[in-house]
Amino acid sequence: MIQNKRVEMMSLKKFSAASIVFLLMAFLAGCHRGESDSSLDNLNVQLAKVEPASQQERAAVNDAISQSRRTAITEAVKKVKDAVCGINVTQIREYVRSPFYFDDPFFRFFFPEEIYRKPVKSLGSGYLISSDGFILTNEHVVHNAEEIVVTLTDGSTHNAKIVGQDYISDIALLKIDGQGYPYIKLGDSDDVMIGEWVIALGNPFGLFEINAQPTVTVGVVSAVDRDFGRQPNDRVYQDMIQTDAAINQGNSGGPLVNSLGEVIGTNTFIYTGSEYNFGSIGLGFAIPTNRIKRVLKDLKQYGEVNRSWTSGLKVEDITPLVARYFRLKNPYGVIVTEVERNSPAAHAGLEVGDIIVEVNGHKVRSRSDILSIIEDEDLRGGDEIHLSVLRQGKKLQVTLKLEKLKE
């Protein structure tokens, strides 16, 4: 009997313990559920508070995007593009025609070669520099032109005439009739900075004719003061601006513009790396505006550039006898044999017997060297040259101002 009571007590204890555990678990589960429900309710509240952007906010974002598109480049293009024009030229070129396919002196004697002229179409670019229709371009664009037709960005076409052209500097000035044209001002090419953004505008491959709009390419100023000197065709390219903005056939004569919309040069030629490659490889060159300004005044007034000058100085090449007389260790230079009274040479203080060994930093070995230096640097009456002179064994620096020849 006692044993049975113990069993019942133990069973009761087990049941009570189990009941307590069960109730505790149920209570905890209820608490956890309550917390979860509460968290979900909070989440729903928070999600309900996330609303789509207002119309005002969307407008502000769109405005910010639009503003980011309006860069200095796009503003400069907008400022100058309407002054750019396409140029179509009919040139007359001379060809030599032989009556035979072989070159034999005997046949040439009895059957001389014939020279015939043939009209050829070509194209280029230009830009208006005044409201009354003056247009700048390269001389090689309009060289030997019989007819010049200019297309403006409004789609209108105009016959142009050559006001003046300078073969050496490769600059030409054209004129179309009318008033009120958009135009670009020439900037200061001496203010150009290497690495600054530049824009080339023009008519590559005649694309201007499609919708009367110039092609725009962008790059930087790669270098300045590139001197190529006198070319085999006698053109002289000095102080050129180098750029990696894409320049192609037809771009010649178009403007090179800085990010302020100022013309700093006229696109003139490119290096292609091969005679079989006609496209841009990032080596383009432009004539600087300050060089153009020197030419422009003469073209407008006279139709050409007058490079005649006088110095009032006569020199002779140094012979071995002269070199021995003056005890010259390195016999180069020219000797002054005459100085005219009241001449630029006399005002500069040059004397008979002076030996000129350098002109503008270039060594002089003959009279022809002096002429070549002056021509290559496009100097004329009114310009100064700097001479290194030997006088009685001492080296002097003399500045000589060239004088315009009187007409």
Tell me: pLDDT of 116 over 80: no
Label residue 3 by pLDDT band (50, 70, 90): very low
Amino acid 58: pLDDT: 72
Q: Are 72 and 189 in contact (CB under 8 A)?
A: no
Give the Cα separation of 285 and 304 in Å (integer): 24
> Which of 122, 125, 140, 244 does the annotation list as catalytic?
140
Most confident by average pLDDT, 81-95, 157-171, 298-312? 157-171
Amino acid 50: pLDDT: 52
Q: Are 8 and 1 in contact (CB under 8 A)?
A: no
Average pLDDT over residues 336-362: 92
Comparing 13-27, 88-102, 354-368, 389-403, the range with the smallest average pLDDT is 13-27
Higher pLDDT, 406 or 123: 123
| % of the chain surpassing 70 pLDDT | 81
Distant-in-sequence, close-in-space partners of 186: CB < 8 Å, separation ≥ 6: 129, 262, 263, 289, 292, 293
Amino acid 12: pLDDT: 43
In the chain the domains, ranked by start, together with CATH numbers, are 84-175 (2.40.10.10), 189-302 (2.40.10.10), 309-404 (2.30.42.10)
Tell me if residue 259 is catalytic: no
Tell me: pLDDT of 159 over 80: yes
Q: What one-letter code names the amino acid at 23?
A: L
For 92, half-sphere exposure in the C-beta direction (CA atoms, 13 angstrom radius) is 7
Q: Are 352 and 335 in contact (CB under 8 A)?
A: no
Tell me if residue 386 is catalytic: no
The sign of the torsion formed by the CA atoms of 217, 222, 224, 230 equals negative
Q: pLDDT by residue (tens digit) across 240-260?
A: 999 999 999 899 999 999 999
> What average pLDDT does the chain have?
82
- Helix count (H) and strand count (E) of the chain? 10, 23
> Which of 125, 166, 169, 170 does the annotation list as catalytic?
170
Amino acid 280: pLDDT: 74
Tell me if residue 32 is catalytic: no
Amino acid 7: pLDDT: 40
Q: What is the pTM of this model?
A: 0.68
Run of H or E residues at 45: helix 2-49
Q: pLDDT by residue (tens digit) across 16-42?
A: 555 554 455 554 445 454 444 444 455
Tell me: pLDDT of 82 over 90: yes
Q: Return the residue matching tokens 């010259």.
A: 328
Q: pLDDT by residue (tens digit) across 200-210?
A: 999 999 999 88
Q: pLDDT by residue (tens digit) across 50-73?
A: 556 677 777 777 777 777 788 899
> Which of 222, 252, 280, 311 does the annotation list as catalytic?
252
Label residue 97 by pLDDT band (50, 70, 90): low
